[in-house]
Amino acid sequence: MHPAYSVIIFTTLSGMGYGLLFWLAAAGLSGSIAMDGVFGSIAFGAALLMITLGLLSSTLHLGRPERAWRAFSQWRTSWLSREGVAAVVTYIPAMLLAVGWGVFEDVSGIYAVAAGLTMLGAGVTVWCTGMIYACLTTVKAWHHPLVAPIYCILALLTGAVVLNGLITFWFNVEKNIIWLGLAVICVAWLMKAVYWEQIDSAPHTHTAGDATGLARFGQVRVLEEPHTQANFVMREMGYQIARKHAEKLRLLATIGLFVIPALCLLALLVATPGFAVVLGFISVFSASLGVLVERWLFFAEAQHIVMLYYGAQSN
């Protein structure tokens, strides 16, 4: 599948924002972070900015961005529509919580309710993003039970890394949140490794014979393409990355998304305040790069069954 940059930026940046929002709300409810108005304002500001920029980026690949408001209407059947609705609804408790924490330094009562709803909204929104892809039976690598959970865990991972990075500026370190980040990295790494292993082991045995229903008459091969130049279907659905490049990029994604952030978080446990800021910065930079590569591969490695008509082999 063609990796559209606007969609990659959207899913990774808004994912990071929702992850940060989720952990902030959780930390507010559990009292894991000291109530500081300035920290709260900046942390919520960063989360909402990332979410908003991500959502705006998602409209860049539309043919008619001025009609984007129509996408809120079909939530009964469309995961894309559900995602849009969930994203907008989540702003309400998130902004209320931001005011509670940032202005009044209070996360009790109505603000506690807002925190709970923020966690729910963030989770639902990212789940819907994952389901946009996971519901497509035409792309086998996406129609996989781990796809939507991986979208969620990577949002939690990048959000946790950013939260730890922000904390290094204010409070040096919060050990509980470091251990939380490390636990999320371990789970995410395991899930992604299992996912890659499973899409690799799926047999690629479907051919043009299966797609045309002509396999029973013999071996089907493409004799003549319908057109001399590549068309929309081939450009959009026929993007194919070389196997050896994919392996290198998987390694890069693993190092950037899991290995370096994990090492940085471990080092934070013993770091001096000045060095902690540097470690926080490195982990955020590395995880951002890692998740961009991971998301690019998610598209570039996925095969669409329509390419069978053009002679591709698929699972």
Q: Which is nearer to another protein, 170 or 310 (CB)?
A: 310
Stretch that binds another protein, among 17-25, 55-63, 93-101, 275-283 (CB under 8 A): 55-63
* Residue of 222, 245, 251, 315 interacting with another protein (CB under 8 A): 222
Q: Which is nearer to another protein, 22 or 79 (CB)?
A: 79
Q: Which residues contact 127 (CB under 8 A, 6 or more apart)?
A: 148, 151, 152
Cα angle 159-183-54, degrees, rounded to a multiple of 5: 15
CB distance 308 to 207 below 8 Å: yes
Which residue, chain included where needed, has tokens 């959000």? 159
Stretch that binds another protein, among 22-30, 32-40, 224-232, 259-267 (CB under 8 A): 224-232
191: which 2 tokens?
Answer: 């899930």
**Using the rule CB under 8 A, is 77 a contact of another protein?**
yes
Site size for another protein (CB under 8 A): 54
CA dist 27 and 6 (Å) reads 31
Q: Which is nearer to another protein, 117 or 141 (CB)?
A: 141
Q: Which is nearer to another protein, 23 or 79 (CB)?
A: 79
Q: Which is nearer to another protein, 52 or 59 (CB)?
A: 59
**Using the rule CB under 8 A, is 244 a contact of another protein?**
no
Least distance from another protein to the Cβ atom of residue 269, Å:
44
Least distance from another protein to the Cβ atom of residue 9, Å:
16
Write each residue from 119 to 148 as x if it is in contact with another protein (CB under 8 A), else as -, in one continuous string: -------------x--xxxxx---------
Least distance from another protein to the Cβ atom of residue 296, Å:
17
Burial of residue 282 (number of CB atoms within 10 Å: 0-12, 13-18, 19+): middle
Distances (CA, A) of 1 to 17, 41, 87, 203, 237: 25, 39, 25, 19, 5
Least distance from another protein to the Cβ atom of residue 59, Å:
9
**Using the rule CB under 8 A, is 274 a contact of another protein?**
no
Q: Which is nearer to another protein, 111 or 127 (CB)?
A: 127
Sign (positive or negative) of CA dihedral 300, 304, 306, 310 = positive
- Nearest to 114, CA basis, from 127, 101, 130: 101
Distances (CA, A) of 261 to 81, 197, 252, 276: 33, 23, 13, 13
DSSP 233-250: HHHHH-----HHHHHHHH
**Using the rule CB under 8 A, is 63 a contact of another protein?**
yes
Hey, what amino acid is at 83? E
Q: Which is nearer to another protein, 237 or 297 (CB)?
A: 237
**Using the rule CB under 8 A, is 315 a contact of another protein?**
no
Least distance from another protein to the Cβ atom of residue 100, Å:
33
Q: Which residues contact 160 (CB under 8 A, 6 or more apart)?
A: 19, 23, 177, 180, 181, 184
Distances (CA, A) of 185 to 16, 60, 150, 207: 14, 31, 11, 38
Least distance from another protein to the Cβ atom of residue 313, Å:
15
Q: Which is nearer to another protein, 201 or 232 (CB)?
A: 232
Least distance from another protein to the Cβ atom of residue 305, Å:
5
**Using the rule CB under 8 A, is 218 a contact of another protein?**
yes
**What is the binding site for another protein (CB under 8 A)?**
1, 61-65, 67-68, 70-74, 76-81, 84, 132, 135-139, 208, 210-214, 217-229, 231-233, 236-237, 304-306, 309
